[in-house]
A and B are shown apart, each in its own frame.
Chain A
Amino acid sequence: MNKTGLWRMLCAALAGLTVLQATAAAADDTVDPLASVRWAQMRAQFTGADPLVFDERVRVIAPEVAENPLQVPVTVDASALPGIEEVVVFADFNPIEQVLRYYPSEVPAYLGFRLKLQQSSPVRAAARTRDGRWHVGGAWVNTVGGGCTAPTGGAAEAGWATHLNEVQGRLWSSGPQAGRLRLRILHPMDTGLIAGTPAFHLDELRFSTPDGRLLMRVQTYEPVATNPVFTLQPGLAEQGIVVEGRDNNGNRLQQRITP
């Protein structure tokens, strides 16, 4: 074996060792399994001094490589963890780290969405259970960058204003995805990080039954992608689901989505 080959082998072995160490430490609340240099800061910012545990029941499903940093698809599925009151999603290396928060009341703690990533970063979900403990999961997403400080194309798109806050959605009542809701909301979701384009984004979405029972509330922030798409698992709802929302300029939306 030549010298280079030997070195490569050594490097691979070392990399393997690092992974082993990380795995062994996964239950420890101080060692970040994603080995991000910003973890301590993220923890202080989002969970403060609250008790915290890295928990595999909080699944963050995202592509290892994001082809389009302006539309990175992420699914947070914490439905295996009982007693969740709040889930906060954040990306360590985004200029605006906080992506969204959701509060499942009577539905699984499941939410699919898309976000803008400025550079490669862990994307994490921290779920707070009734006992005040945070359960954290996450995944690294690699990108060639440009998601947050590149123009979204949203407000630049001709005619966006006439379609602002339009909701397109579908509720599946049969088939393998029965009980699933998917919707797309037309909104520029401008981050405010581009000179001359102020922050303009959806603030809050509320999903309820037509008789007014709140199922889930979602607070959305700047990094959520333009014309965002969401996936929820509200379960079978013959009467449909009502989505209401507003953006940071006070524009409101309301739509009932029926199967």
Chain B
Amino acid sequence: MKPWLACLFLLITLTARGESGDYALQAQQVAPDVYVFVGRTEDFSLANGGNIVNTGFIVGTDGLVVIDSGPSLRYGQAMRQAMAAISPLPVVLVINTHHHPDHFLGNQAFERAHLAALPGTIEGIAQDGNAFAENLFRLTGDWMKGTEVVVPSQVLAPGALSVAGRRLQLQALSGHTGTDLAVYDEKSGVLFTGDLVFNQRAPTTPHADMAQWLTALTTLTAWTRQAGFSRLVPGHGPVAMDAAPIVATRAWLQWLQATMRDAARAGLDMTELLARPLPAEFATLPVAASEYRRSVSHLFPAAEQAVLEAGH
């Protein structure tokens, strides 16, 4: 057999075998009765099956509250299995923080009656869910087998929510997407920020509104100053004990915003902006180069339009 053909076969075999299989989720305890499944700080790939996201759960007195369900049916099932090893209590509520696929495509592993989100998130999942799912099939392949979009049936309202013997504070925000939910568990002092905060990974911006996002970060900072605050669980990256990931997310967003605006004013073309090296401050951040490239595509057109419309 020709060597290149052998290589091709090898590649196909590796892919088909999928390096796919077990997500091997390990629950990390971040506070008494609060656990997080910490994903990798990578892009979606055939190797990681989309396990690049943080999901979590709270063990209440009579049930489990789940925050985000992961990128696939199989991930949702793996969550359930790992949760059952920690507590025999039933899942009573599954919250989707926002409508991005890695946060809701595991919904199918749970009962639809338990799935809950803010109205904008429900709308977003209903509208874009299938397109997101198709894209994840392309990016992660076999791991997505059997995954279908399940739209949450419970509409959440911002404010206090008593569930499973816990009091949660639901903070409705926006900026990463049109509707972003942060969840603060009063008893443990754990703040789940969803994708408004990234830690040690460059933020993603496909549906970002930078001004709203920066405002949301200010609100989240206030939550970390609550007397009982103990941990910050970002949407991606390691769990933190302080507001440092908020500071880092803000720094990245402000840099992006200024870069787009200044480049548009200076008359640069998008190709020139894409060719620029990252500043040293961000160069070693995981996936910074690819997120920068994506963000230029998401954000530069508006900055450029503002300059061209003004005409000077």
Contacts and interface: CB of A to CB of B under 8 A. Distances in A.
A144 B135 CA distance: 8
A138 B240 CA distance: 46
B297 A67 contact: yes
Interface stretch (A69-77, A84-92, A95-103, A244-252): A69-77
B267 interface: yes
Interface stretch (A29-37, A178-186, A203-211): A178-186
A10 B305 CA distance: 48
Interface string B273-312: 0110000000000000010011011100100110111111
A162 B273 CA distance: 32
A65 B304 CA distance: 21
Contacts of A11: 7, 10-11
A227 B3 CA distance: 47
Contact of B266 (A65, A144, A176, A231): A176
A175 B4 CA distance: 51
A154 interface: no
A259 B290 CA distance: 35
A61 interface: yes
Contacts of B308: 168-170, 182-184, 229
A170 B267 contact: yes
A75 B269 contact: yes
Interface residues of A, number: 34
A169 B311 contact: yes
Tell me the interface secondary structure of chain B in the complex. helix
28 contacts: A10-B7, A11-B11, A14-B7, A61-B271, A63-B274, A63-B293, A65-B290, A67-B294, A71-B297, A73-B271, A73-B274, A74-B271, A75-B272, A168-B305, A169-B311, A170-B308, A170-B311, A172-B267, A175-B266, A177-B266, A177-B267, A177-B268, A182-B269, A182-B308, A229-B270, A229-B304, A257-B311, A259-B312
A11 B270 CA distance: 35
Contacts of B138: 144
Interface string B248-278: 0000000000000000001111111011000
A62 interface: yes
B307 A170 contact: yes
Contact of B267 (A4, A63, A182, A257): A182
B132 to A, nearest CB: 12
Contacts of B293: 63, 65, 67
A63 B3 contact: no
